[in-house]
Structure formats: C-alpha cells, structure tokens
Structure 1
Amino acid sequence: MAASVAQEFYKLREEWHKIDKIDSWKIAVWEAEYPDVDIIDKFMEVERSPIGIFDDIFFRFESIYPGDDKAFAAMLWQEYLEWFEPVAHPEKDILQALLDAGLLTEAYKPAEQLEQNLSNLWQELLRLRAAMAGFNARFVLYFPIVPYNNYHISDWFQKVMQTVPEGLRLVTMDFARDKRLNLYDEKKKGSIVYLRPVLDMPAAINNEMKKSSSNYNTMDVHARYRQQIIVLMETTTVLKNPKTGSEVKKLLQIAQEIGTPNAIIGSLLIASQANYAINQLSESNAYADRAIDLAEEKMDTDPNYYHMWKTCVMIKAAVFTMNKAYKEALVQYEKLATKASAFQDVYYAMEARRLAALIYYERKDYNLAFEYLLLALLAGAYMDIEMRRNSLYIHVAYLALELGAAVRPKPVLEELKLQIEEWLGADWETLLQQEGVAAIKTKSKKPLFNFKN
C-alpha cells in the first residue's frame, strides 16, 4: 500500500499505544527523522484536543529553556498561569474547555502566591488534577523541540527526572540523526522511554500531492503549482536533461499567476536546485541570483525569507567552488557568515567559516585557512554542548588541530587544545578519534594538510 499521511499518523498512535499503559516512565522522547517532526507535533496536538483517543490529558509548554533552571521554572509558572486568564478566543480557554468536557468538577484557581519553583508547579498541576473527581489518568506535559536554542534542555530533563511526581509525565522530541538529548536512568526504574516510529513522510507527502493534483481543477493555481513541482523534480534524475528547462519555465509562470513573493522566490529557489541537480551550473547560478535579490528585499522585515536566501547563497557558492572560482565563492561565504550572525543562525555562521577555510586551504593559504577554522569554532561555540558534540563542530575542531600543528608553534596548539576541551568536554580526544572523524579529508586528491612540495 502506498504511504499516506493518515497511515503515518496511525503509526504514531500505535507507537504511543506501546507506552500508554506502562506505569514506570516519567519522560518519553520521540526520536524523529527530520521529515517526521511536524506530524509528531501534530499527533501531540491532536491528543491535546477533544478528539484525542488516549485517556491521559495532554498539555503543551512553549517556554524555551534559557540555561538557568530557576528562570525556566518561573517561565513555566507564568505560562501555566496564563492558561487560566480570560482569553479573546473561547477555543483557547483551557479552564472552560475542562468544564465543558465535564472533567473539572469543582472550582479551581491557580495559587499565584506560591514561590515560582518547579516543585510548586508540580504540586499545582496535581491540585488541578485532584479537582477532577474520578479522574485517574495522568497529565502529559509536552515540551516541543527547539532546534537552535543556545541552551539545550537535555540537562534540565536529567535533573528533574527524579522529581516528577506520580500523576505527571514529560514528553519531548529529539532528532534521530543528530541526537542532542543524552538522558540516562540513574535508578534503573524505567523512568525513560524512547519512541522510534518508522515513517516515510516524504513518500506520504508526495503521494498526497499527486493524489490532490491528479484530478485537480485547472483553475486551481495552487494545485497546478504543486503538480508542476513534482513534474520538474522528476526531470532531475537525468544529468543535463533538456526537459528541465521547459518545466522550470512552466513553474515560474504558475508562480507569477499566484503572485506572492513567497511563491515567486520559492519557485526560483526550486529552479536553482533543479538545475544544480542536473549539473547545469550557469543556469542554477542565474536563478539563485534572482532569488537572492528578491529575498534580500524581504528578509529584514520577514525573517522567513532568510532561509530561502541562505539556501540560494549556499548553492551559488557551491557552483563557484566547483568551477574553481574561489574568490567569488569566498564572497558568498562572507555574506552568509555575516547574515547568519545577524539572524543568530550560529550553525550556518560556523558552516560558512568552515567552507571558506577549505577554500583557503585549496589556494594553499594555510594561515588564513587556520584562522577561518578558528572563526568557525568561535561561531559554533554558541551552540549548546550537545549540539557541538554531535555535529560538524567536531570536524572543525579536528581540522583546526591538524592544520594548527603545521602552521602554529606548539604553545599555540596547546592553548587551542585547552579551549577545545572547554568547548567539547574532557573526552574531546576520544570524540575526535571516533569513526569517520579521523578520516575527514578535503575533496582534493591530496591528503589533507600535506605540505610537501
């Protein structure tokens, strides 16, 4: 049976059913592939609504961990109190929803006078639960994933695991391919459970798009746009496919019919990616230029356009690099590093510096290559330690040490090692020696950092 969104959603229900009746767990972690994050989040939202099928009552906390436990507890308290404030939209009134559902059988008002610490918040949630006569199920408190927060919530979960009282459960999400949650069950009581659904969301979404577009009304411009994206991307499986150019033109024409900046810039981005995929580099560059110009006009007032902009800049820089136009590629990476820093996108600030360093190495400017690796390390240091330890950051550290040994005196290298220990932890040497790290090379045919003439 072809994958569908509904089918994938029911897989999530089956996965949750596995842990629903297990009494021991306090924290559940969804380990999600990148395409699956949205549907898992939607599943948690459905369970938070009246149409959820599980007995537990689900709540959602949006507060972002600031790196300070006391400050986070106060933020959670404030968010909790806001649940019970008068709201303009009745559908968002949690207290009224509980009353309407017949779950709340006695008057309840949050105890605002309590000290805003985590222990009191747990007790207040239990007091709300006790106000529901005859209600024996638990409260499930959902903390959505925050991919680029400077302070990761992993340490907080580890600290609070043993403080979560009976009647409450915590749930969050982690990336399966870039794990940042490093939790362990100190007392071996089954306090942690992991949910690892096997989904195929790209296929499901593709099938839904085909299904909704196969019999589409020719007057529905959005349906034609979706269908045209499918047609275009199917041409990219053949290098230098002559059909790609004509399908790109059709997509751009439909985008003009839609008329929104998002559709126009998005179609130019897709055109650039499609041409890059079939190795039509000059065409890819031209479309990227048009998208970059339009996105630059919009992104200072709407940050969503920054993500389109950076993708196009990365494509443009890659094209220059493939053509050995290193000077032009470096200009793009400088632009990206500057904008990424302005938008607090620390990962791409690091990545821009790393790629620039590799170009300087190819140009045999080893001192500048080393300096740019240091800039990449400094940019990436703003990520939380778990992200540093599970990303390209360790590659940057490895390259910096390898090149530093050749271009800097030993005292400088020793100082760098101390700094890397601070950034990566006491086991940094073991971390850099893990499989794949020691084998990191440039795309040059020569070994990395071989200075023999």
Structure 2
Amino acid sequence: MNNTPSIAHEFYKVREEWARIEKLKHWSLAVWVAGYQDIDIIDKFIETESLAIGVFDDIFFRFETTYKGNPVLFEEELWQEYRSWFEKTPQPSKQDVIGALKNDGILSPDFEPQFHVNSGFTGLIREMLRLKHNLEGYEATHFCLYFPPAKANRFLLGDWLNRTLKKELPSQIRLITIDYAANRKIFVSNYEKVVELTPQLNMLAAINNEMDKGGGRTDAVSPESRLTKQIRVVMDSILKNNKDLTLRESRKMIGLAKETQNPSTLVSSLLVASQAHYNIKDHEPSEQYAEEAIIKAEALMNDGDAAGFHCWKACMMLKGALLSAKRKWEKAIAVYDALAEKALSHGDIFFTMEGHRISGHLYYLRGRMQPAFEQSLLALVAGSYLSREMMRQSTFLHAAYLAHFIGEKIKPQDELKILEDQLQDWVGEDWKELISSSELEKSTTKPRSRFMPPVSF
C-alpha cells in the first residue's frame, strides 16, 4: 500500500477507472460516484481529456449550462451554449474545442455549423453528429458530453437524465456527470445504459502531503507553519466524529493561533473550531467559539480591519443556525436581522439578502406569516441588486418562493399581482417555473425536523 499518496497518484487512479469502462459498448451515461473531497480531481481529469493532452480517443465536451428544473429551458440553453462555441472572439477561450480541432487539421477549416435546424437537445445532437462526421480519423470514437455536478441549492440532473435515456441516444454520443457518494441524487431507471465509476481515492492524504512539501520544512517550527498543519488535524478529526478528539485538537489550534499574535488569525481559527464542532453536532463548544470569534471580529471591524467583517458574518450565520437547532427562534431571528443590517452597511448584497431570507424562513416556521412575508420581500429587494443570472441560480429563488407562497395565503389578488410582475421583471418570464420545483418547496416550506438553516460562507 502507498502510505504517501500524491495528487498525481490519485489522478492516475481516476484515469485507470475511466480506462476500465472506456471500451465497453453498452452504456450511454457514466456517473462518477465520489466523495466531496474527490470531485475536483475528477473534474480536472475530464477537463484534461477535453484538451489536446488527453490520452483517450474519445472527444470530451464540457457544458457549463446549469439545470434549473425546467427540462425544455435547459435543452434550449444547451443548444445556445453549443452555438456560442462558434462565435468569433478577440481572445478565443482555451476551451475552444472547435478551434483546436481545426488548428490540429482534424476538422476541415471549411466546416460551418448549421443553426437553422431545430434547436433544443434534438438539434444539438443532430449538429454534433454532423460535426463528428466531418472529423478525419475519428469514426470509431464517441463524443462525451460532460455536465459538472450541481452546487449547493441547485437542481440536480437526475430527472432530466431519466427523460433523456428513455429516448434512443445515438451510440456515438455519451453523457457524463458526477454524483455525491454521501448524498446520492442521481438515480436512472434505465440501468443497462448506465455505468458507475467509483475510484478509491485518498485525496485528503494526498493534499496534506503536497502541503507538507510546499510548506517549507525548514520553517516547520514557526507558529504559522504549525498552525497550518494543526488546522488540517482539526478538520481531519471531523471524520472520526469524536467530540473529545475535536475539542483537544481545537484547543491546540487556538493556542498556536495566539502564538502568532495576529488578531485576524485568531478570529479565523476560532471560526474553524466552531465550524468543526458544529459539523459533529457538538453544539456547546461550537457556540462558545462562535461567540468569542464574534466579539474579536467586532473589535477588528472597529479597528478598520477588512478581515473582521468576513469572519464576523460567517460566525453570525453559524450562531443563528445553532440557536435555531435549540429552538431559540427569537434569538436566532435577532442574529439574522443583525447580520442583514451590518451586511447592508458594508455593501454586502448577498448576505443582506441571506439575513432577511433566513429571518423570514424562521418567522414562517413559527407560524408568523406577516413578518415572514415582510422579511422575504426585504430579501428580494436586496437580492434584486444581483445580476439576473445570480438571481436565477442562488437562494434568491428561495426567498421568491416563500414570498409568493405566503402572499397567496394572506394577500389580496391585486397585491399578489404586483409581486408577480416584479418577479417577472427581476427573474424573467419563466419565474413561475423556476420557483415551482418540488425541491425548492421541500427546502423552503417543508423543512427537516431539526429546522437547522444552512450555514453559508
């Protein structure tokens, strides 16, 4: 067994796992099943294969379009993304696959896409097959269409993949995505068309080894160097779910942070300790560390240190979640209200929105519809300063769902119509489809029994 894994070693494990299924004939969808810490290296492997340095014969295409719960809209946006690959730009992207194929002499320079054909996924597949037929020497290869994994609070591809595999995909087209091993969300009924890849990786150890190499062993005795390593020890202790171990290692970390005599470093270390205990549901020390970090972060803010506000808002989010877990609703609401007010004074649009949004969510859980509605509206007003794309892909949609959900219950139709018109102006004509997803409903108005809001950093 290799006791000192490296990132390169883990990368080759990923490559070997792909080699295992590459030549299989039956599959149309490959799902990488991986831990959170392993997602990045799998993503980098696929990115490498989309470049000229890739070692496999198949040609990989990465689609950045995110699925927002509407399959028709998603397929149309995929088509538009494909079209964008052919647009002339002063500085072509390094991921310009089409340009690279032409430069390498694989694709005829005279090839031109045909955008007058049907759009959507059907048109996309038809055009990609026409592209493939114009490649020299690639008749036996596949086009692999990669869809990166969804981020937190995003819709997942499972439903769309099921719909797509029920149709007959051309054998030359294959789909790839990643699912989280600890929280599987992609289940496809057409099993004979699916392969799963489950590389046994040890990325935490590999990253630690790389950090040890780059951290400069000659400086291993300085408080800063020892603190860096101790932070990793604290985070690793979470996996063992041992409260005494995490408490002991957190205390060592705080002691080292104090040795640095850097107030910002101490606040950051207190935040790490609070988060570590929160993750293993050890709430008392988590709350104590968060309280201490908040006091010290406020002192930094008063001294004009920009790092103070960043740590303060993270600790406030954590403190609010801890109070919610203990059913101390009014205190939790006060925390999120204070967060929104301070974030506004610092020009932080997102956390102004989040403070009001979670406050509204907690009011809703308490059955207090009017303040829940008002806080949701304040969240929408704050979030309206985000770009439309950010609004469509963030927790802005959760605030919109709750405001509209409550508005239908307590507001007359003419007032509700004003809200609906505003949502259309902010989000787009498809606002109703975006907020009508069952996933959004579950996370906004059908919370888990513990009622613990997510902690966002």
Displacement of 1:345 in angstroms is 9.3
Q: 1:131 to 1:324 in 2, by over 3 A?
A: closer
How far, CA to CA, are the matches of 2:208 and 2:63 in structure 1?
A: 32
Which secondary structure state, in structure 2, belongs to the residue aligned with residue 30 of structure 1?
A: strand
| Counterpart check, 1:129 vs 2:132 | yes
Contact 1:337/1:349 (CA < 8 Å) preserved in 2? no
| Counterpart check, 1:77 vs 2:79 | yes
Pick one of 286, 290, 293 that aligns with 1:287. 293
Match of 1:109 in 2: 112
Which secondary structure state, in structure 2, belongs to the residue aligned with residue 245 of structure 1?
A: helix
Match of 2:258 in 1: 249
How far, CA to CA, are the matches of 1:228 and 1:143 in structure 2?
A: 36
Contact 1:58/1:139 (CA < 8 Å) preserved in 2? yes
Query: One-letter code of the match for 1:4?
Result: S
How far, CA to CA, are the matches of 1:127 and 1:234 in structure 2?
A: 50
How far, CA to CA, are the matches of 1:176 and 1:351 in structure 2?
A: 32
Displacement of 1:138 in angstroms is 0.7
| Counterpart check, 1:12 vs 2:11 | no
Pick one of 179, 184, 187 that aligns with 1:182. 187
Contact 1:26/1:168 (CA < 8 Å) preserved in 2? yes
Which secondary structure state, in structure 1, belongs to the residue aligned with residue 33 of structure 2?
A: strand
Q: 1:89 to 1:385 in 2, by over 3 A?
A: same
Q: Deviations over 1:22-77 (max 9, x none)?
A: 11111111122122221211111111122211110111011112333332222112
Which secondary structure state, in structure 2, belongs to the residue aligned with residue 99 of structure 1?
A: helix
Pick one of 143, 155, 160 that aligns with 2:164. 160
Contact 2:77/2:120 (CA < 8 Å) preserved in 1? no
Match of 2:46 in 1: 44
Question: What is the aligned-residue RMSD (CA, Å)?
Answer: 4.9
Q: 1:238 to 1:182 in 2, by over 3 A?
A: closer
How far, CA to CA, are the matches of 1:225 and 1:211 in structure 2?
A: 16
Pick one of 242, 245, 252 that aligns with 1:237. 245
Q: Deviations over 1:351-379 (max 9, x none)?
A: 9957996xx8xxxxxx77xx99xx99976
Contact 2:29/2:193 (CA < 8 Å) preserved in 1? yes
Moved more, 210-219 or 75-84: 210-219
How far, CA to CA, are the matches of 1:392 and 1:201 in structure 2?
A: 34
| Counterpart check, 1:332 vs 2:335 | yes
Name the count of aligned residue pairs. 373
Contact 1:103/1:132 (CA < 8 Å) preserved in 2? yes
Residue segments in structure 2 that go unaligned for 5+ positions in a row: 238-243, 377-397, 406-434, 453-457
Match of 1:410 in 2: none
How far, CA to CA, are the matches of 1:88 and 1:225 in structure 2?
A: 46
Match of 1:138 in 2: 142
Match of 1:213 in 2: 215
**TM-score w.r.t. length of structure 2:** 0.64
Displacement of 1:85 in angstroms is 1.8
How far, CA to CA, are the matches of 1:272 and 1:255 in structure 2?
A: 15
**TM-score w.r.t. length of structure 1:** 0.65
Q: Deviations over 1:3-40 (max 9, x none)?
A: 33222222211221221011111111112212222121
How far, CA to CA, are the matches of 1:226 and 1:26 in structure 2?
A: 44
Displacement of 1:332 in angstroms is 2.7
How far, CA to CA, are the matches of 1:234 and 1:25 in structure 2?
A: 37
Which secondary structure state, in structure 2, belongs to the residue aligned with residue 197 of structure 1?
A: coil
Query: One-letter code of the match for 1:178?
Result: N
Structure-to-structure mapping, 1:366-381, within 5 angstroms: none
Match of 1:33 in 2: 35
Match of 2:195 in 1: 193
Query: One-letter code of the match for 2:30?
Result: A
Match of 1:312 in 2: 315
How far, CA to CA, are the matches of 1:383 and 1:29 in structure 2?
A: 27
Which secondary structure state, in structure 1, belongs to the residue aligned with residue 80 of structure 2?
A: helix
Q: Deviations over 1:406-442 (max 9, x none)?
A: xxxxxxxxxxxxxxxxxxxxxxxxxxxxxxxxxx899
Match of 2:103 in 1: 100
Q: 1:336 to 1:140 in 2, by over 3 A?
A: farther
